[in-house]
Structure 1
Amino acid sequence: MIRIGGVVRVARVLTAATALAVVAVSAAACGDGGEAAVSTAAAASGPSEAGLRAAAEEWSKAIAEGDYAAAYGFRSARCRLTIGQDAYVEELSQRYAGRDLAGAEPEITVAVTGETGQVSVRYTDERAGEDDTAPATWKFVDGSWRYDTC
């Protein structure tokens, strides 16, 4: 009888621990500062050109839609130290004010060497000539491509 009670108690403890782990993981995903926006599909292929292109397309789509907070989610930890999300959103709001970036697909060029990539994004709206088309460095970190040009 005591043995059965002990097994029941162990099962209850394990169930409670599992439930807490699920809650902790869910909370971490909700409070990640935008990282949840980064596609897991883009990372599934590892540090490949296809994965980098998918991440760059998601990033440029966020920019085109004016979702600068989502775009911030693609920044590397190193780049997040240089500017906070609010300042980043304000900077991009000013940079892209009055532009219709969602009207046409941007031209995206990618190249990968190891876990480092180079991405060029050229928007095709009327003011595209104002953009800096120099390649931006991206890094493959912890299973995700991160914008690393700070």
Structure 2
Amino acid sequence: MGYNELWNASDLRLQVGVSVNIPLDFGKRSARKAASDYQLNSARTDIQYLHNQLLAELEQALSRAEEAQHAIELCREQLIPIAQQSLTASQSDYQEGIADFSNVIQAEQALLEARLLLSRSMADQYQAHAEIDRLVGGRLWPFEFSGH
């Protein structure tokens, strides 16, 4: 109810009215909900993708560590002992005059190559362990560098 002095006629100046608020969002709420549901599903998909990628990288690193361990065992248990025996036999044959000095050199080279393979395999294993440690986000093998 109100008084409006803008009307010329005095009997029209008194007015009675009703005000009603009508929500006119025209589906804005459902659109916002659909957008947030899409964002949630997108985030879940991204998380699942990253999870699968992390698992694949972890499996590869574990496989590399296992392969390196097998190579280390092969070098230590077979290649180096056989190369050492071959070198000893070549040296003995050379000292007795049965073989040439080139046989000793070849046997020494085979032993050095076996030791080099062992060192490379150990380096590969350390790298694989470091990668595993990085992927799991922690220190699997606790040790500290003291700097001296």
TM-score by length of 2: 0.31
More strand by share: 1
More helix by share: 2
